């Protein structure tokens, strides 16, 4: 490669670098703005939700109650998604529809989730209260 061509290549790549940095800056800014907007939207709804119980572990008797609410998923016409794994719910899958709020999740996903937090992942409603279990 001749010397002049090498210099041109570096110059061109420098210009491309600046353009790419500009594009990257714009995408980072838009991503941050979107995240902030989403967080503000969630925060504006938080005061309407019931008080959240602290982090806890799912007790064996509570797992039994959860098991009693396991059903086979039946589509209501429109497609529904499990908001824990973002997978679309399919017929014959084992799901749990939470009482009161009626949000539906895969049994495996909600069992894992409830072992961390006893609230609905969608509306933050108290799941133990909905299951008729006493909260301490």
Partner 1 sequence: MRVKLTCEDCVLSMVFCYLIAVLLATWQEFRYVAPSCPQPIQVWLLGDYFTFLVCRWMLVLLQSTFTLFHRRTLACVSLFTFLVLYPFLVVWTAIGTLWFVQIVKASVLECVRRT
Q: Does 39 contact partner 1 by CB under 8 A?
A: no
Q: Does 31 contact partner 1 by CB under 8 A?
A: yes
Q: How far is the CB of 17 from partner 1 (least distance, A)?
A: 5
3-state SS track over the chain: CCHHHHHHHHHHHHHHHHHHHHHHHHHHHHHHHHHHHHHHHHHHHHCCCCCCCCCCCCCHHHHHHHHHCEEECCCCCCCCECCCCCCECCCCCEEEECCCCCCEEEHHHHHHHHCCCCECCCCCCEHHHHCCCCCC
- Of 6-25, binders to partner 1 (CB under 8 A) are 6-7, 10-11, 13-14, 17-18, 20-21, 24
Contact assessment for residue 79 and residue 49, using Cβ atoms and an 8 Å cutoff: no
Per CB under 8 A, which region of 38-46, 49-57, 77-85, 123-131 contacts partner 1? 77-85
Near partner 1 by CB under 8 A: residue from 42, 85, 100, 102: 85
Q: How far is the CB of 21 from partner 1 (least distance, A)?
A: 6
Contact footprint for partner 1 (CB under 8 A): 1, 3, 6-7, 10-11, 13-14, 17-18, 20-21, 24, 27-28, 31, 83-86, 112-113, 121
């Amino acid at each position: 490669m001749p010397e002049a061509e090498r210099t041109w290549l570096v110059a061109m790549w420098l210009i491309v670098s600046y353009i790419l940095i500009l594009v990257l800056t714009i995408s980072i800014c838009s991503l941050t703005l979107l995240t902030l907007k989403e967080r503000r939207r969630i925060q504006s709804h938080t005061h309407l939700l019931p008080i959240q119980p602290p982090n806890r572990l799912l007790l064996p008797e509570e797992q039994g109650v959860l098991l009693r609410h396991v059903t086979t998923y039946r589509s209501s016409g429109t497609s529904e998604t499990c908001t824990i794994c973002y997978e679309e719910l399919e017929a014959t899958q084992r799901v749990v529809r939470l009482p009161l709020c009626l949000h539906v999740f895969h049994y495996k996903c909600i069992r894992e989730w409830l072992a961390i937090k006893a609230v609905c992942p969608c509306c933050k409603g108290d799941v133990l209260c909905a299951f008729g279990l006493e909260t301490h």
